[in-house]
Amino acid sequence: MRKIVFIHPQGQNWLAGQEDLTRIANVMPPHGLMMLSALLSRHGFENAIVDCYAHPQGLGDVVNRVLSLHPDAVGFSTTTSGFPAGYRIADALKNIRPDLPVIFGGVHPTSIWERILKGYPCVDMIVVGEGEATILELAQHDFRPTDGIRGLAYRDPAGEIRFTGERELIRDLDVLPYPAYDKLAGFPKAYPLPIFNYPRSPATTFITSRGCPYACSYCDRSVFKSTFRFHSAAYLLDHLAYLKKAYGIRHVNIYDDNFLLLRRRVEEFCGLKLSRGLRMTFNCIGRADRLDRDLLKLMRKAGCWMINIGVESGDEAVISPHRSHSDLDRIREVVAWIREAGIRAKGLFMLGIPGETEASAAATLAFAVENRFDDANLTKFTPFPGAPVYASIGRFGEFTEDWEKMNCIEFVFIPAGFTKERLERLYVQFYRTFYGRPAMLGAYGAMLWKSPESWGRLLKNLPKFLAARAAFDQA
């Protein structure tokens, strides 16, 4: 029976020259690889996961670790910023074992598979799109590509690039096993959620659906398309009960693109969770147009601790061309309802969107402050290869396509009328203003009771956070 080793590359997830604090503040399990691993294990194929992000090592150590597992193939799942690190590992492995099949998948390889196969010779094949069924058939064919395996791009013996066609998406997600948590070294302790974003631990990330029907210009839908497929409420509650029993999980961060899309599904999830008496809290991400007072009351009763609301910009004219059904007035109303229900509200914002102006940047900061969000995240706009805006991004400003820096914490796109230096100052100003208010300082003092472990993690790593703050203040 053939064996595959899955590799989650570290990538460049922090500013160059500074310590990567993301592994202190937030480490997300590689769910895509965990699902592939679980499915292969169900069918009797031996496999392992080497997570370089949760357990960073030098290139030589990673290569030695992978080779010590004696793989018959290696598989990488990469984002845009993670691809260069993944390719360096693949290149090093090929130097030692030239015949080792190297498979790449994930959102970045899927979106530009032909470009990668032409320019990166150590990549033998790419799983295009949803990966479970394709990787299983590859395993059944000893990890050798054939035209009969749908969803696969590869080079044939003559060096010609071939694509076997898109594979049909999995309609019933309940047929899939739970992710292979057991393949992650140190789970769940090695995978902390963002500080002050959970009340108690152990905690982990939780996925309940795939895809999103909206068509926002900055979102890459190349893997799961615009469909919306989801696990049943019964499956989810069984999954949560398993996490609680096996790993003591007390809180989950539901990381779906839009957990709140179908009201009936959310109601069923909350009702079943209450009827089963499963004492776990949860966060989720969603759009304001899917929430109302009655649903929020039910969610709070079922253990909802925080809701992340996508806002992106406080200027309707700037965000409307990019975001489906943007309505800032509705968001204002719903944020008030969320807080009224006793749930924390976190605003998700962007800076540097095509069409951004000084006035729109100021409006975004004002929106975050005036609507009393409990927390906020400001992303540096990044045009990813699979996003609709990518093809025309040059019309809106200056774009430097450096994949390693395309991690949403570097400005690789500079809108017309701005300089990178000015954007950096506005970025710093947003966080200084938002978190520097007396009301926010008092709110985080209350976290001694609401999220005590977060304070412990902050104090434990205080010198590193202070060093990062000093570098931040100099920006």
- The residue extents of the domains of the chain are 3-163, 193-473
User: Please, which contacts does 267-272 make with residues 24 or more away whose CB atoms are closer than 8 Å?
Assistant: 267/295, 267/298, 268/233, 269/208, 269/233, 269/236, 269/237, 269/302, 270/298, 270/299, 270/301, 270/302, 270/304, 271/233, 271/298, 271/302, 272/233, 272/234, 272/237
Could you count the other beta carbons within 10 Å of the beta carbon of residue 147? 12
Out of 196-200, 351-355, 456-460, least confident range? 456-460
Predicted confidence at residue 136, as pLDDT, reads 98
For the segment(s) 193-473, the CATH number from 3.30.1490.20, 3.20.20.70, 2.60.450.10, 3.30.565.10 is: 3.20.20.70
Averaged pLDDT, 163-187: 97
Residue 232 confidence (pLDDT) above 80: yes
Averaged pLDDT, 385-409: 94
pLDDT band at 442 (very low <50, low <70, confident <90, very high): confident
Are both 3-163 and 193-473 of the same fold? no
Burial grade of 311 (CB within 10 A; 0-12, 13-18, 19 or more): buried
Predicted confidence at residue 19, as pLDDT, reads 58
pLDDT band at 187 (very low <50, low <70, confident <90, very high): very high
Out of 410-419, 420-429, 457-466, least confident range? 457-466
Tokens at 444, concatenated = 């985080």
What lies within 8 Å, CB to CB, of 438 at 6+ separation is none
Averaged pLDDT score across all residues of the chain: 92
Predicted confidence at residue 23, as pLDDT, reads 59
Pick the residue with more confidence: 465 or 115? 115
Q: Which class in CATH covers the domain with range 3-163?
A: alpha beta
Report how far residue 297's alpha carbon sits from residue 299's, in angstroms, rounded to the nearest whole number. Answer: 5
pLDDT band at 466 (very low <50, low <70, confident <90, very high): low
Tens digit of pLDDT for each residue in 371-394? 989 999 999 999 999 999 999 999
In which residue are the tokens 């906020």 written? 376
Report how far residue 151's alpha carbon sits from residue 134's, in angstroms, rounded to the nearest whole number. Answer: 6
Reduce the DSSP state of residue 217 to 3 states and report it. Answer: coil
The residues with which 285 forms a beta bridge, in sequence order, are 308
Reduce the DSSP state of residue 451 to 3 states and report it. Answer: coil
Burial grade of 160 (CB within 10 A; 0-12, 13-18, 19 or more): exposed
Averaged pLDDT, 138-161: 95
Tens digit of pLDDT for each residue in 448-464? 778 888 888 878 777 76
Averaged pLDDT, 125-147: 96
Residue 87 confidence (pLDDT) above 70: yes
Could you count the other beta carbons within 10 Å of the beta carbon of residue 31? 15
Out of 83-92, 355-364, 435-444, least confident range? 435-444
Tokens at 121, concatenated = 């010779």
End-to-end Cα, the chain, rounded Å: 54
Residue 104 in contact with residue 126, Cβ under 8 Å?
A: yes
Residue 16 confidence (pLDDT) above 60: no
Q: Provide, rounded to the nearest whole percent, the portion of the chain with pLDDT above 70.
A: 95
Averaged pLDDT, 328-353: 96
In which residue are the tokens 């996925």 written? 207
Residue 468 confidence (pLDDT) above 80: no
Indicate the angle between helix axes 420-436 and 462-473, nearest 10 degrees: 130
Strands in 161-163's sheet, in edge-to-edge order, are: 46-51, 3-8, 73-77, 102-105, 125-127, 152-155, 161-163
Tokens at 77, concatenated = 């799942």
Element (H, E) at 285: strand 281-286
Q: With CA atoms as reference, report the closest residue to 245 among 173, 178, 176.
A: 178
Reduce the DSSP state of residue 205 to 3 states and report it. Answer: strand
Residue 399 confidence (pLDDT) above 90: yes
Report how far residue 2's alpha carbon sits from residue 45's, in angstroms, rounded to the nearest whole number. Answer: 7
DSSP class of residue 212 equals -
Output the CA–CA distances (angstroms, integers) from residue 288 to 293, 303, 337, in the order listed.
Answer: 11, 19, 10
Residue 204 confidence (pLDDT) above 80: yes
Residue 51 confidence (pLDDT) above 80: yes
Residue 227 confidence (pLDDT) above 90: no
Residue 195 confidence (pLDDT) above 90: no
Report how far residue 27's alpha carbon sits from residue 138's, in angstroms, rounded to the nearest whole number. Answer: 30
Reduce the DSSP state of residue 157 to 3 states and report it. Answer: coil
